[in-house]
Amino acid sequence: MAVIALDQKAKPARPAKETAEARALRETPPGQWFPYAAPQPRERDNRDIAFSFRGISRKFGDKTVLDNIDLDVPAGQFIAVIGKSGCGKSTLLRLLTGLDKPTSGTLTVNKGAQGENRTRIMFQEPRLLPWAKIAKNVEVGLTGIAKGAEAREKSLAILNEVGLADRAEEWPSVLSGGQRQRVALARALVAHPYILALDEPLGALDALTRIEMQHLLESIWQQQTFTAVLVTHDVAEAVALADRVIVIDHGRIALDLDIPLERPRRHGSPDLARLEGKILDTLFGENK
């Protein structure tokens, strides 16, 4: 795997020793690399890092939004990022996805065998092209990767996974909000990203659709083994879905919590409630 340092000024971190999975990925043609995208079984293994923040800060004028963040995320991990509004969650995702640059620090992201961009982002709004049919909207995710019949085939396959294969030839305007978000998820996943950044993707959905989408996201993540970085305001959602939750407060990581519970997890179980309590204490504890 090629390790790309996004901050050219800073000295890049020394690449970790290559694992068997990483070598298999490097030696596999891009069209076939997918099964090697993450180590199996999915355990923390610092030799296989999806991305790494080292002393990352982001300032806007005098205001320090992210302050010297260190964060290593192993390939295949599902991490949730929680924090009060304005604490810098979206800024962190923008840095991760290359939409913004840090003021200081080094960010390394594992890329594809040819150094291609294998990071995708999904937002609260689906951002579909209104003049393109559903299958075409999904094909946008393959720009520069596949076109023509190959792109169509991949688009239909991922639409099938999100349960919308029969809507491929319809316009976005005739879908419900939840269905549009499923199209956005399909577009984000069609190129089989290593890293999927999700910025409150379920925030605008009603409670039942939201739970359905959580199940869908979890099952596709289990199947495809990408690294998921989910920004959410919903503490219950974070502990239900993530392997690990980080809480950002005053520009720093105030809590880095493992969620070592088996899946599928049951909403409202005592174990989840205990972990939720820990996160809420960090956010709203006595000193807040």
Helix orientation angle between 177-189 and 148-161, rounded to the nearest 10 degrees: 130
State the burial class of residue 93 (Cβ atoms within 10 Å of its Cβ: 0-12, 13-18, 19+): buried
Tell whether residue 201 is a contact of ligand ATP (CB under 6 A). no
Taking the C-alpha atoms of residue 91 and residue 87, their distance in angstroms, rounded to an integer, is 9
Q: Which residues contact 15 (CB under 8 A, 6 or more apart)?
A: 3
For residues 218-277, which are near ligand ATP according to CB under 6 A? none
**DSSP code of residue 166:** G
For residues 107-126, which are near ligand ATP according to CB under 6 A? none
**Stretches 84-92, 105-113, 143-151, 272-280: which one binds ligand ATP (CB under 6 A)?**
84-92
Which of Mg ion, ligand ATP, none has residue 240 at its interface (CB below 5 to 8 Å by kind)?
A: none
Least distance in Å: CB of 7 to ligand ATP? 18
Tell whether residue 62 is a contact of ligand ATP (CB under 6 A). no
Long-range contacts of 149-158 (CB under 8 A, 24+ apart): 154/190, 155/186, 155/190, 158/186, 158/189, 158/190
Nearer to ligand ATP, 81 or 190 (CB): 81
Name which position in 39, 88, 105, 172 contacts ligand ATP (CB under 6 A). Answer: 88
Name which position in 32, 46, 60, 173 contacts ligand ATP (CB under 6 A). Answer: 60
**Stretches 7-15, 83-91, 170-178, 277-285: which one binds ligand ATP (CB under 6 A)?**
83-91
Q: Which residues contact 30 (CB under 8 A, 6 or more apart)?
A: 112, 113, 114, 116
For binding to ligand ATP (CB under 6 A), which residues are involved?
60, 65, 83, 85-91
